Structure 1
Amino acid sequence: MFHKMHQKATILVAPSLTNSSCTHPRYLQITFFSALTPGDVVQAVIVLFITIGVLGANMLLILVINSRKYSKYIHSQPRYLLTSLASNDFAMGLFVTPFAIIPSLRHCWPYGELVCQIQALLRGAISQQSAVILICMAMDRYLCMLYPARYHKHSSKKGCVALISMTWIMSVTLFSILVLPHSGFYFNSTGMVACEPFYNRASTRILVACGFYFPTTMILMYCYGSAFHVNKLRLKKTSRGDILTNNQLEHVTPSTHIEKLMTQERRLSTTASRTMAAMSLGFIVLVTPWTIQEVVAACTGTRAPPSLDFLATWLALSNSFWNPFLYWLLNNHFRRVSREILFNKFSCKNGPESKQRDCFQSFQHQPHCCSNMDGVSGHTQGCDFDGLSEKYWGEILERTLSSSSLHALQRTYVHPCMETCNGIQEMRVFDTTTPDL
């Protein structure tokens, strides 16, 4: 018994980075092309595409949600949280993943010990900070949908920035303690194909993996599940005929007016909550294989096969790309503003001023869903795809995170074109007071 306990408490030693450096004699004797295999090329291409996708998608997300055109569709608090998450993912694509391209081809570390140490620190701190931001987003949506009056009264920009700063400092401090010692990092030639934090005890490795995954998953599932469940109960009490038009607003009392506006804003905030819930669900799906692998490897004292280790690790890292992609896929306003910004930047900026003005005006006068509501043409001019996909993706997501029956989908079905246009009209009613979340 004592011998087994002694084995569990064994302190591990990190592999020497000198033996994995590209300046080591055993790597100098091997030419680059002679040691290259098709598997190495595939790995390098995967790393390259993930890096480009992470940088491009998160840059677009940061630019759009902080633009003036999109400011009326989102409150400052979720905007700061989304910007922080996108900034973390952008930093991951800028300072971590690109350094794995050359090592995936040469199977050695060419950048030196200091770069390896910094990369290991950022790898751990950014991942942990992103998980904390997802928790903050889930709690923000929970409070907004369950206690909207208190949420709008007590939400603060300074408090949100202070919370983000504090969590970032805590994440960096934690991994600085783990990584900054000389034996706190190593070159992982099979999974990350770059430098990662090294834990001298198996228990520490299990604790870090479980602390990163399980609390985050439980909080996300509870917050979004409770929020969607309560929102469903509230929507059942309000019929579809309660949606106001501009003409109806003139004939309601002030108390009814406020109540209707709160109902409308609750409906519109559901879209933002679905989008953030989808990002959280993507985190759970993508990180689960990596967490299982870490726990099994630490418990058994073995290593996973190189191909499986690589796929599990980079599947988890690809979460930095899927976050903005899911936000684009499930948010109709974000897609529209993104198209406008990209169209203005790349299509209307070239040429004389008169041509730019005509180009911008032609884009503004393109037919939209609401311009064809008098007939069936609105359904056949492309608007149905955006509304339909957003509607049903949201329904699938809510059924994943909360309990509801199949009959709820039939009772709440509305023509997607009508729902999208109603959402735009409703938002315009209280655009100057409380924008959509």
Structure 2
Amino acid sequence: MRGRSTVLTAPLLYNSSCWHSRVYSNGLIYRITVSGVTESALVSLLTLAILIANLVVIVTINSNKYTKFIHPQPRYLVTSLACNDLAIGLLVTPLAAFSALVHCWPYSEIICQIQALLRAALPQQNAMILVFMAVDRYTCMLHPDKYHKHSSKKGCMLVLSLTLMGSLTAFGALVIRRGGYFYNGNGLMACEPFYQRPSLRILAACLFYFPTTMALMYFYGSALHVDRLRHRQQVNICAVLVQPILPNNVTTKNVLDEPSDQLGSKELRQSIRTTRAMGAVALCFIVAVTPWTIQEVVTACTGSKMPPAVDFVITWIALSNSFWNPFIYWALNRKFRRISRSIIKTKIFCRKKYSSSIVSSSCHIGHQEGCCANRDMCFMALQKDNGDIIEEDRQSTGSQDRGGFPPTPPPPPPYHRGGSQTCPTRKY
């Protein structure tokens, strides 16, 4: 058994390098196996999914159409989490695709050192952002007045910047020295920090998992519990409202004067939806990283190694959390789905929002740019014109039924086929 004073030594990176004479002389192509192709394909697909999904989240969350459905501070936090996951998809996971194929490290030692730093610092920053999101939702649900008074973009960005710098500094002190990193050819298929003592490895895994999990469970549990109590109170208020209100019914009057009559407001429903979506993201994080934490603690305590296939699956399930976050936003938020589909169709596939012949004919053929820019205005103008015509027809029919003279027919609409007529400019 290893004692507490056992000091481990990191394996030399050159022994795992693809340019080692033992590996390079035989040729890299002969190291490709079926399992290597499968693992490389999975890593590549997950990397592509992380990049695309988080780019969609960043663009949609910060679009003008979606900003009115979310408060500024949770928008900053969600954007920071998506940027952090995007950095994982750009700087951590892609390097493992080729190394998983040939089962050796094909890059330089400095790249291994940088990846080991980012492999530890970025997931730690992810955990901190999730905790800040939980505190944000807890404060918004329990103390809404203080929340809207003290929440600010500068304070949010300051806290996130300090935590990121702290994570990079702490793990940088570990991997900056030679022997502070190694090539993990079983799980990550890339470089990771190396802990000289098993106790340090256990401490790093526990600090990453247990404080984060306890904070997420407490803050989201309290916020959702308050939401449940408010819902029951709202049901009781509705039960009072259906009763006949008497002039001297003091009880009913007091109930109606309480602040709880604003529970059905748009802002409160928006906060509840945001809290539930962020709670689902936190739950996904706990489910994804729990097997990896157990593996780290067990292997550090026993000094054993997991089977390569099991180690690979557990490690990449934990890293797949960067993809599941955008998927949860998409699954639980109807407005996010609608706006993201609209952005993808109009910005990527260049599809026109309104392809109706009426709209296209109401704009000048020789001014396509103005027509596309004012397409929404044209469509609203056409709707209003059609509504005015229908209303005038109804008035005409009513006057004929009363025996009166029909009113003067309305003038033709300003849009017609042919002719050089631009979109009508109206103020609504």
* Change beyond 3 A, Cα 1:299–1:136: same
Q: Give how far 1:8 is off.
A: 2.6
- Residue 21 (structure 1) shift: 1.0
Does residue 52 (structure 1) correspond to residue 48 (structure 2)? The answer is yes
2:162 pairs with 1:166: yes
Cα gap change, 1:143/1:29 in structure 2, threshold over 3 Å: closer, same or farther?
same
2:202 corresponds in structure 1 to 206
Residue 186 of structure 1 aligns to a residue in which SS? strand
Number of equivalences: 352
Give 2:30's aligned residue: 34
Structure 1 position 33, deviation (Å): 3.1
Identity across matched positions, percent: 52
- The farther-off stretch of 154-163 and 349-358 is 349-358
CA contact (8 A) 1:282 1:322 kept: yes
Of 332, 339, 342, 2:341 maps to: 339
Pair 1:118-2:118 in alignment = no
Q: Which runs of 5+ in 2 are unaligned?
A: 239-252, 356-367, 381-428
Aligned to 1:298: 300
Alpha carbons of 1:162 and 1:363: their partners in 2 closer, same or farther (altered >3 Å)?
Answer: farther
Would the aligned equivalents of 1:54 and 1:89 in 2 still touch at CA under 8 Å? Answer: yes
2:400 alignment counterpart? none
For 2:35 and 2:376, the matched residues in 1 are separated by 47
State the one-letter code of the partner of 1:278: A
Q: Report what 2:214 is aligned to.
A: 218
Flag the 1:221–1:273 CA change in 2: closer, same or farther, 3 A.
Answer: same
Question: SS at the partner of 1:195?
Answer: strand
- Pairing 1:51-90 to 2, within 5 Å after superposition: 51-90=47-86
Contact in 1 for aligned 2:186/2:312 (Cα 8 Å): yes
Tell me, yes or no, if structure 1 residue 330 matches structure 2 residue 326: no
TM-score w.r.t. structure 2 length?
0.77
Stretches of structure 1 that go unaligned for 5 or more consecutive residues are 243-251, 365-437
Q: Secondary structure of 1:13's match?
A: coil
Contact 1:20/1:109 (8 A) holds in 2: yes
* Residue 175 of structure 2 is aligned to residue 179 of structure 1: yes
Equivalence map 1:230-245=2 (5 Å): 230-239=226-235
Query: Aligned-pair distance for 1:259?
Result: 5.7
The 2-side partners of 1:320 and 1:363 are apart by 40
Contact 1:186/1:196 (CA < 8 Å) preserved in 2? yes
TM-score (norm. length: structure 1): 0.76
Structure 2 counterpart of 1:144, from 140, 144, 166: 140
Partners of 2:93 and 2:146 in 1: CA distance? 41
Give 2:281's aligned residue. Answer: 279
Q: For 2:379 and 2:313, locate their aligned partners in 1 and report how far apart those are by CA, in whole Å.
A: 42
Greater RCO, CA 8 A, separation 6+ = 1
Contact 1:348 1:359 (8 Å CA) reproduced: no
RMSD after superposition: 2.7
1:154 Cα offset (Å):
1.3
Displacement after TM superposition at 1:268 (Å): 2.7
Q: Call closer, same or farther: CA 1:38–1:356 in 2, change over 3 Å.
A: farther
Correspondence for 1:427: none
Provide the C-alpha distance between the structure 1 equivalents of 2:257 and 2:165, rounded to a whole number of angstroms.
46
* Structure with the larger helix share: 1
Is 2:230–2:263's contact at 8 Å kept on the other side of the alignment? Answer: no
3-state DSSP of counterpart to 1:50: helix
Structure-1 residue corresponding to 2:20? 24
What residue in structure 1 maps to residue 314 of structure 2?
312
Deviation at 1:270, TM superposition (A): 1.0
Deviation at 1:336, TM superposition (A): 1.1
Alpha carbons of 1:26 and 1:131: their partners in 2 closer, same or farther (altered >3 Å)? Answer: same
| Structure 2 residue aligned with 1:428 | none
Q: Which has the larger radius of gyration?
A: 2
Residues 360 and 349 of structure 1: CA distance in aligned 2, closer, same or farther (over 3 Å): farther
Other structure's SS at 1:68 match: coil
Give me the whole-angstrom Cα distance separating, in 2, the residues matched to 1:126 and 1:363: 47
Q: Say whether 1:127 aligns with 2:123.
A: yes
Residue 212 (structure 1) shift: 0.4
